[in-house]
């Protein structure tokens, strides 16, 4: 029978370090550098601002006055409000 030889040399297995030792150009050991912290703000602030600007304060104040006076409660207005609310949800 023929003999099968290994494909690698006879050198011993070397251990792999999980954190290699870093050396600077002068030969001393240096510590690994960390990246700088970074903060990125999303574009949500302009969406919130535009949503807020769509509120008509004068209309809200008028409706509040009507509700307090008891003159706002109307079936037609209630139907429209419910319809709009359902449209927003769907």
Residue 30 backbone dihedrals phi, psi, to 5 degrees: -115, 155
pLDDT score at 86: 92
**Region for residue 56 given its phi and psi (left: phi exceeds 0; alpha: psi -120 to 50; beta: otherwise):** beta
What is the per-residue pLDDT across 24-36, written as a single tens digit (0 to 9) for each?
666 555 566 777 8
Q: What is the pLDDT of residues 53-84, one digit of tens each?
A: 677 888 889 989 988 998 887 888 889 989 99
Predicted pLDDT at 74: 80
Higher-pLDDT residue of 19 and 74 is 74
Contact between 47 and 41 under an 8 Å Cβ cutoff? The reply is no
Q: What is the pLDDT of residue 39?
A: 76
For residues 30 and 24, what is the distance between their CA atoms, to the nearest angstrom?
6
- Provide the pLDDT for residue 50: 72
In sequence order, what are the residues at sequence separation of 6 or more whose Cβ sits closer than 8 angstroms to the Cβ of residue 23? 29, 30
């Amino acid at each position: 029978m023929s003999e099968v030889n290994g494909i690698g040399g006879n050198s011993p297995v070397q251990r792999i370090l999980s954190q290699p030792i870093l050396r600077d150009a002068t030969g001393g050991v240096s510590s690994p550098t960390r990246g700088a912290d970074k903060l990125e703000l999303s574009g949500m602030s302009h969406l919130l601002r535009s949503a807020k600007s769509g509120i008509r304060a004068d209309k809200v104040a008028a409706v509040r006055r009507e509700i307090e006076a008891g003159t706002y409660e109307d079936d037609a207005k209630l139907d429209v409000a419910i319809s709009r609310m359902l449209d927003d949800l769907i």
